[in-house]
Amino acid sequence: MNNKQISHLISVFHDRTAPEQGNLIGYGALIEFLKLAVPMPIKLSIISMKRRQYENDNWRVFTPRHQPNETIYDHLVFAIKYEGINLLFFKKLFELLPSDTIVKWIYNEPHSQYTRKIWFLFEWLMQLPLTIPDLKEGNYIKIIDEDLQYGLSKSYNSTRHRVKNNLPGCIDFCPLIHKTVKIKDYIAKDLSNKSNIVISGLRKDMLLRTSAFLLLKDSKDSFTIEGETPTQNRAFRWGKAIGEAGSKPLSKEEILRLQQLIIENSRFVQMGYRNEGGFVGEHDRITGEPIPEHISARHQDIENLMKALFATAQQLEESVYHPVFVAAEIAFGFVFIHPLVDGNGRLHRYLIHHLLAKMKFTPQGIIFPVSAAILAKMDDYRKVLESFSHPLLEFIDWKKTDKNNVEILNDTKDYYRYFDATLFVEFLFDSIDYTISKSIPEEVEYLQKYDSMKAWLDDRFQMPDKMVALIIRFLEQNNGSLSKRAKEKEFAAITNEEVAEIEEYYNSLVNI
């Protein structure tokens, strides 16, 4: 294979404008050179012609002294050293390269940490031993460089390669997360402790009422995200399920039980794991052909992918991996696999609740209304989902079925196993921060003002609770005043002077 000109000068690359003209290197250059069926990484690396080194959201810029030699191996070493581990890239690379090439690299530099990582990753991902004797000496090195990415604190020694396997997942499901300033800042904020502080001063009855309201609100908002308006009973049932999140282990049976709670009428919906293709998108108005925004995993792969997802969830739950990392990897992994015909979105958000509660990140007795935060950030939510789905479309071969569904023609399971979860972790941190800083305080404030209004009405008019609730609702709906119709019908017993007094007191509370 011709190893010349792997790096090349760019200013625009795959619709991305570089911060300056430079030589493309590392994973991006190798994917382009080898024509690998791999989406480009979130960040690409270039060598600055101006001899500068810096980083932004989409680019790493290096000086000419970082330029690797024009060989696949040297670009790989650069990528591992500065860009971290990309499991999907390595899986596709190993499927392309003859194993003899890997063996040659190892014999050339048997004690190099980068060679040992390549060796380990080949045998781990391909489940094929190379004809190389075990290493007998050398310090152990971690597969995940914790200056670049988040690995497990508890690693497993591979004596054959003299490496510590700190990969956060199993062979069949292992998303990875890059260290970013945003994630590090959120970890330093200690949102779990912040949430405990927010609710620490609440009376027990106030905490219970806040929790009950947030459960119902999150349930309704989760349906709203899917474009549905549930009945009160349906919303209540799903809210009750959310409130029990974290109490049962994840399994296929548990997912199917929850799906039955979501789907009110299963007459027209196939329940259980899909037995055909799946996609998210529209149909052409004239031909009916699918127009996918996201193509789900092949139905033949669902059973294996879901078992691996559950196994990774259990492994990470039992480790000291950050709960938000676990929730993001598992919940977004689930929605990308899309194992069900219907209910995937709500179960995806349920999994966030489940894992945050199971790992004791959420304060006991309350849930984070994540769906409410997502609903408030729908544009960001859509963009973060599309960051996975859209780049993948060009690598999935499919054809239209007789039912205007999609039938996938190539092997796609690795795309759902080895994705970069960095953006999903950042988004989930944003949503949790929104919940703690805005949603919960606003609900507590509302209940406190409601109680003040109720106490005042009780003291002033001795109103029954039912009328108190009704008058407050009418005031809320009509911007602090009672309509002429309400004064003449529901509240005919209240004089105009008393109505003015009630409106004045209500508005004084609202404007505090």
On whether residue 229 sits in a domain, the answer given is yes
The verdict on 338 and 405 lying in the same domain is yes
Domain endpoint, select from 82, 97, 112: 97
The side-by-side arrangement of strands in the sheet containing 54-55 is 8-13, 16-25, 44-48, 59-62, 54-55
Distance CA 369, CA 371 (A): 6
* Domain residue limits at 81: 1-97
The verdict on 264 and 397 lying in the same domain is yes
**So what's the pLDDT on residue 268?**
60
On whether residue 56 sits in a domain, the answer given is yes
pLDDT tens, 231-287? 777 777 778 888 888 889 999 999 999 898 887 666 666 788 999 999 998 888 888
Distance CA 256, CA 93 (A): 37
Mean pLDDT, all residues of the chain: 90
The verdict on 103 and 225 lying in the same domain is no
The verdict on 230 and 319 lying in the same domain is yes
pLDDT tens, 118-176? 999 999 999 999 999 999 988 999 999 999 999 999 999 999 999 999 999 999 999 99
Determine the distance from the C-alpha atom of residue 401 to the mean position of all C-alpha atoms in its chain, rounded to a whole number: 30
Amino acid letter for position 158: S
The verdict on 110 and 141 lying in the same domain is yes
Residue 25 dihedral angles phi and psi, to the nearest 5°: -140, 175
**So what's the pLDDT on residue 267?**
60
Distance CA 400, CA 422 (A): 33
Which tokens belong to 512?
């505090």
The verdict on 318 and 435 lying in the same domain is yes
The verdict on 232 and 338 lying in the same domain is yes
Distance CA 393, CA 388 (A): 9
Strand bridging mode 16-25 / 8-13: antiparallel
Distance CA 375, CA 301 (A): 31
Q: Are 294 and 419 in contact (CB under 8 A)?
A: no
On whether residue 496 sits in a domain, the answer given is yes
Domain endpoint, select from 117, 143, 167: 167
pLDDT tens, 436-445? 888 888 888 8
The verdict on 187 and 291 lying in the same domain is yes
pLDDT tens, 350-397? 999 999 989 999 877 677 788 888 888 899 999 999 999 999 999 999
* Three-state SS annotation for 88-115: HHHHHHHHHCCHHHHHHHHHHCCCCHHH
Model pTM score: 0.90
**So what's the pLDDT on residue 201?**
67
pLDDT of 194 strictly over 90? no
Number of domains forming the structure of the chain: 4
For residue 419, the domain's CATH number is 1.10.3290.10
Domain endpoint, select from 42, 65, 97: 97
pLDDT band at 1 (very low <50, low <70, confident <90, very high): very low
The verdict on 300 and 369 lying in the same domain is yes
The verdict on 247 and 304 lying in the same domain is yes
On whether residue 347 sits in a domain, the answer given is yes
The verdict on 361 and 239 lying in the same domain is yes
pLDDT band at 512 (very low <50, low <70, confident <90, very high): low
On whether residue 172 sits in a domain, the answer given is no
The verdict on 155 and 90 lying in the same domain is no
On whether residue 175 sits in a domain, the answer given is no
On whether residue 173 sits in a domain, the answer given is no
pLDDT tens, 412-436? 999 999 999 999 999 999 999 998 8
